[in-house]
Chains A and B, each alone.
Chain A
Amino acid sequence: MEGRGSAVGTPASRPVTRRSKSYGRSCVEAPSYFWQTPGHLTVLKIPTSRDAAKSQIITNKVDPEHIALLVKNEWKLSYVTPLHCFRHTQLKSYSNHLSAFIVAEKQQGVAVEVGLEAGFKVTFTAVLGLAETDEDAETVFIQIQSKPVFAAAADAPKVVWRGWLTCVNGDPEYLRSLPPDFVSLPLFCTSGPESLTTLVKSWFERAFDCNFGSLALNSTTLNWLAALWTGCHPTCNIRYLKLAWSLPTQPPLDVSYTVNPQDAWELWNSIHTEESTDDRIDIKEVQSFMNGLETHFFRHFKIYLSAGTLVKVSTALGSAQLDGKIKIGNSDYITTLLTLLTECALLKMLT
C-alpha cells in the first residue's frame, strides 16, 4: 500500500516503490485496460464492420509445405491465454520436452529422460509469414508422430496428432498492452485424439502458465463467414454455399440449405454495392443477406429459419461449425478466416 502515494509522482511508467498491493491493478496497468479496470470492461468491442475478404497468394509469403499442413484437415478450436516465456527459438527443446511429457503421462510413475525419443516424436515448427502485423506472433505448428515399439525399421512413423497456435490480425491495442515476456497466440486448432489434445494442453499449461478453453463460434460469426465467402465468388469459385440450421421443434428439425453460388453472389451483390470506396462490409449488410436467404426459404417451405440456429456454413473455401470446428478449403483466403477466428478467441478470453 505504501507505493500508492509515491507512485503518482513517479514519472516512469514502472513504479519503483513497493508494489501497491492491489494485485493486478497497479502492477499490470496496461492489460488492465482491457481486462481488469472497471469501466473498461467492454473496451474490446465486437466489430460491426470489417474488410471484405481479399484473395492473396499466401504461398508467396508462407512455405507451401506449411500451408499444405493447414488446409484440408478439420480443426477443433480452442482459445489460449497468453503464453509466458514462450520463445520461438526454443522449439527444439519444446519438442523434446513435450514428447518426454507424453511418454511420462502415458506410463504414470515411470520417469522419462528428456531428449530420448521413445514412442512419440513431437515436432514444433514455426510457420513464418502467416502473421499479418508486427504485433502478431508467428504461428507455431505441432505434430506428434507415434513410433510403435514393435514397428519395423522401415515403417514410417505415423502422424497421430496435429495442432497449431496462431494469431492473425490480433487486436493491436491488446497485444501491445502485454508485457514483453508474454506471447499471445490466442487461437489453438487441433486435430487428433482428444487424449493427446488434453496432454498437449496440460503440457502447455505447465510450461507456459497459460490456460485453454474451448472456443465455440456463435451464429454471428457464421453469418459473417457466409457473407465474406460469398463475396469472394467473382474471384474464386466458391462452388456452393451450404448452410445448416437446427430448429427447436419436437423432434429437432435439421435443415440443410444449399444455394447456387451465382445466386448467392447476386443476392450479396444487390446488398453490398461495390461502389463503396474502402470495401468494408457492415454487419447490417450481413444481416440483410441472411434475411434474404431466410425469406427465400420461407417462400418455398413456410419455415422461419430465423427461429432456429445456424449451425454450419460451408463453401469450397472452407467450413465452420457452431461447436467450433473448421476446415480450410482454399489457402488464398486463409487470412480472412484466421483474422475472424483470432478475434473470436480474444473476445471469448476477455468476455
Chain B
Amino acid sequence: MADLSNLTGLVSEPSGESDSSASSASNRSLRLAEKQKRKGEADPFGVAVKFLSQVEAGTVVRGNDELERNIVVVETVAVSKGLSPEVITVLLDLALSLNAGTANCTRVLKFLIPATVVPQEAIVKGVSWLCVGKMPINAQVLFVRWVLTVFDLIDCKDNLRSIYGFIFSFVTEENLCPFICHLLYLLTMREQVHPYRVRKLLDIQAKMGRQPFLTQLLVLYKVFRPDLVMLSHPARVRTGFKNHNSTWKVALSAVQRKNKGAVLVDQSLSLDVKEKPSSRKRKLHHLAIPPLSSAFDSNSSKKAFRLQELRSFKELLENIHNIELPAQMGSLLGSALALHYLDCVQDESAFLRLNFWLGHSLQEEFLLCPVDGSSDNTSEACRFLSTILFSQQFLQEGFSSTESFLYKFLSVWDGSLLRPQILDLLSDIPLMPSFYMHKLLFEPLKQLYFTSTVFFKCSVIECLNSMLVKWLTWHSVSASEGGLDISLNSNSTMTMTLSGFMDSVMELVRFVGLLASEGLRLENCHILLLNQTLAFYETVCDMFLKYSLPLVIMPPAGVFYPALFATDSISVDRLGYIMYRYRKNLTLAKKQEQQREQTFHISRNTYKEFNRNLQAMVNSMWNSWWGIPGSDLEIDKDLIALSKVSEPWCRFDLIHHPALFSYAIEFHQRCWPERKDVDLGSIKTGKYWNWYMEFLFNQGFDGLNNFIQTNTGHGISCQDDRQPSSQT
C-alpha cells in the first residue's frame, strides 16, 4: 500500500510510458538513463497522488492528458486495493474543490474506496466545501451518499458532531434532504436536539409531507427530547432509511474482503426501528407489551442513555450505570436486552410500576372481563402469558403480581384455559409459608385435580415437581451464601427460618404424595401418571445430596407399591434408581450425624420407612419371598392360594416380574433356542443367573442395576442380602 510518507520524498518528475513515447526521438542513452532513474523511484501510484495533490484551481481539464493519466493510475489502485486515509484526504479535497472540474469530481468520488479508515478531518473539510456552495447538486448528493456509505469507517466523529449545525442547515435543500436526514440521524446526540431544530424539521414536514426520512429523524429527536416533539406512528408507514451505498457497495466489499482484519463496514446501514406497530384491532389493549419510550419529563440536563438506543449487549455494559428507565416499565418485557437491565434494576418504584402494570393487565383480561373463548383472543392471551413466562424464566424468578393473580385465578380456573401457560406460571410461584399454601394453592388445585382427566393430573404433578426444583435450587443458592434464615420480605414482617422452609417443602411433598396416590388409584395406575410421580420423587429423594436440604421424605405406599408392581419396566427401573438415591442420601445423613451431632436429625421413622420399602423391594425381586415380618403388608396365605397362582412368592422376582418377564423370555430363547417348552426357572441356576443379570442391565436398566449392586452386591448368591448400614 502506497503511503504518503514517501510521497514527500518524491521529486516532481514526469514519469510513465506515454512520457517516454513522447520523447521517442531522443537518443537511446537518455532513455536508458531515464529507465534507470525510474527503477530507483517509488511506484507510479505515489507519483500520481503527488501530482493530483498539486492540481490547482483553474487547471484546464479538457484535453489534459496528464491529469487523466494520473487519475486512471489512482483509480486502478483504489478499486483493487483501496486508498489509505491520507490519499482519501487528498482526493476528497481535489474532487470537492472542483479544481479538476465537475466531471472529475463525481468520478473521483465514485472510486473513493477506503482501505482502512476515513479520517474525520477529510469529511469536515468536505462539508466546508459543501458550504461554499459551488458544487452541482448531483455532486453534493453523491458526496453525502459517500459519507453515509463510509460512515462506520470514519475514525472519530466528535468534530463532525461539532459541525452538526452546518450539516443541519442542508436539510432545507430539497434534493439533499433525505441524505442529510440520514446523516443527522447517525450523528444526533441529545445535546443536538434543540427546539429551533425541531421547528425547522416540522416546517419542512409541513412542506414535504410525511417523508419517512423526516419521520425517522423526528422519532430520534423524540427519543432524546420527548418534551419537545410528539409523534405517533401509524402502523402502515414504512420507517427507516434506504441504503445509499449502491455506487460503492461492490468495490467496497471486495476491498474489505481483501484487507481482512481491517475495520468492517456494516453494509446494511439502514436502521430499522424496533418499535413494532401494533396491528391489533382490539379495543381493550390490556395484553399489549407497550413499546419502549422515554419518560416524558426526563431530566433534560441529565446525560442518560435510553433503552431505545441500546443495540448490543456491549452497549448495555458500557452504559449500565447511566440508563434511564423507560416511560412504561412494562416495555422492558418486550426486549431481551432490556431484561438484562431489569435484572440489575434496584429501584423499588420501578418494580412497583412493573407489577402495577402486569397485575392490572392480568386482572382486566382474566378476572374482570372473562375471555369469551374466541380463538383470536386466546392466542393473544397465550402470547402474553408466554412473554411473562419467558421473562420470569430469564430472571429465574416470578413476578409478585403474577403470583397474586394466580391465587385469584386458580379459584375460577376451569383447568383447561391456557393450561400449559398457567401451570408453567404456577411453577414459578416462590416459596411461601406452609400456612398459606393450603388455602391459596392446595385447595383450588386439589379440586381441579380430582375432577380432571389423567393428563391434567400429570401436568399438575409435573408443575409441582418443577416448583419444588425451583424452591430447592433457590435454597441451595441462598444456603451456600451463608444465610440460613430466609427473609421473604425485607420489611421482615415475614421471615422464613430454615425450619419454616423445610415445613413448606414437607407440605408440598406430602401434598403431591396425596395427589399421586389417590390419582394412581383413581386412574388404575396410569403409566404416564406413575412416571410423572416417579419424576417428582426423583427430585425428592435427592434433596439432601443435591440441594443440601437436610430432609428425607419417603414416598407413600400408594406410590411405592404401584411402582414396584408396575407392568412397565421403566417405572420399575425408576423406582430402583429412586431407592438407590434414597440410600445414598440416608447414608450420608447418617454419617454427618455421627460426625457432628449438632447439625440435624432425620427421624428414626424415616429410616424405618426406608428399610421397610427396601426390604419389600429386595424380598420380592431378589429373594423371591413375600411378607415383611412385622409389617402390615402381609397377605393371608390361604387367600393367595385361592388365586391358584403357582409359586406366588416368586411372581415378582427379576424373572417373573410382569415388567421384566419379556426380557426373561428373550433371554431364555437366546440361551436355549432349541427348547420348545420354556422353563424360566432354569435361568436361576449357575452361571445363567449372572448372564441374565448382565443381559438385563445391558438393556439400560441403570436404576435397577445401581439398586441391586448397592443392596445385594451384583452376581453374588441370592441370599446375600446386605442391609443398608443406616438401618436402625
Residue numbers of A with Cβ under 8 A of B are 1-8, 10, 13-15, 18-33, 35-39, 41, 81-82, 84-85, 87, 90, 93, 97, 100-101, 103-105, 108-114, 178-179, 181-182, 205-207, 209-211, 213, 349, 351
Contact = CB atoms under 8 A, between A and B. Distances in A.
A8 to B, nearest CB: 5
A111 B215 contact: yes
B50 to A, nearest CB: 50
Nearest to B359: A35
A108 B485 contact: no
A103 B230 contact: yes
Contact of A1 (B228, B290, B478): B478
B494 interface: yes
Given A20-B487, A23-B399, 17 more contacts: A1-B474, A8-B487, A8-B492, A8-B495, A13-B490, A26-B487, A28-B352, A29-B489, A109-B233, A111-B198, A113-B230, A179-B348, A179-B352, A206-B296, A211-B360, A213-B368, A351-B363
Nearest to A96: B227
Contacts of A182: 349, 352
A209 B357 contact: yes
Contacts of B395: 21, 23
A113 B198 contact: yes
Contacts of B368: 213, 351
A196 to B, nearest CB: 15
Nearest to A38: B436
Given A24-B355, A97-B296, A4 B210 contact: no
Contacts of B230: 97, 100-101, 103-104, 111-114
B228 A211 contact: no
Interface in B322-363: 327-330, 343, 345-346, 348-349, 351-357, 359-361, 363
Contacts of B495: 8
Interface stretch (B400-408, B550-558, B581-589): B400-408
A87 B295 CA distance: 14
Given A4-B486, A85-B295, A351-B367, A205 B328 contact: yes
Contacts of A103: 230
7 contacts: A21-B343, A27-B490, A36-B403, A97-B227, A111-B222, A113-B195, A206-B328
A81 B198 CA distance: 34
Contact of A111 (B218, B234, B290): B218
B398 interface: yes
Interface in B468-508: 474, 477-478, 481-495
B355 A28 contact: yes
Contacts of B227: 93, 97, 114
B234 A211 contact: no
B202 A111 contact: yes
B210 A109 contact: yes
A104 B403 CA distance: 38
B418 to A, nearest CB: 20
Contacts of A31: 352
A193 B301 CA distance: 38
B351 A5 contact: no
Contacts of B356: 81-82, 209-211
Nearest to A101: B230
Given A22-B488, A23-B398, A113-B202, A8 B404 contact: no
Nearest to A178: B352
Given A104-B231, A111-B218, A1 B477 contact: yes
Closest 8 CB pairs of A and B: A5-B483, A24-B400, A29-B491, A108-B234, A100-B230, A211-B360, A36-B400, A111-B218
B396 interface: yes
Nearest to B328: A209
B232 interface: yes
B199 interface: yes
A113 B195 CA distance: 8
A5 B483 CA distance: 5
Given A36-B403, A209-B329, A27 B231 contact: no
> Chain B: interface residue count, which band?
35 or more
Interface string B632-652: 000000000000000000000
B201 interface: yes
B712 interface: no
Contacts of B343: 21
Contacts of B232: 101, 104-105, 108-109
A321 to B, nearest CB: 18
B397 interface: yes
B490 A113 contact: no
B296 A351 contact: no
Given A25-B488, A111-B222, A93 B297 contact: yes
A85 B353 CA distance: 11
A87 B485 CA distance: 41
A23 B474 CA distance: 14
A179 B330 CA distance: 19
Contact of B293 (A2, A206, A351): A206
A112 B354 contact: no
A4 B327 contact: no
B331 to A, nearest CB: 9
B77 interface: no
B354 A23 contact: yes
A15 B354 contact: no
A110 B368 CA distance: 36
Contacts of A6: 483
A3 B218 CA distance: 43
B440 interface: yes
Contact of B351 (A28, A93, A113, A114): A28
A38 B404 contact: yes
A80 to B, nearest CB: 10
A112 B478 contact: no
Contacts of A20: 487, 490
A19 B398 CA distance: 14
Contacts of A18: 346
Contacts of A22: 397-398, 400, 430, 488
Contacts of A97: 227, 230, 296
Given A206-B293, A207-B327, A21 B404 contact: no
Given A36-B355, A41-B407, A211 B229 contact: no
Contacts of A81: 356-357, 360
Contacts of A181: 349
A334 B493 CA distance: 39
B483 A8 contact: yes
Identify which of A13, A15, A18, A28 gathers the most chain B CB atoms within 10 Å of its CB. A28
Interface in B209-230: 210, 214-215, 218, 221-222, 227-230
A317 to B, nearest CB: 29
Contact of A32 (B198, B297, B327, B400): B400
Contacts of A37: 489, 493-494
Contacts of A28: 348, 351-352, 355, 400
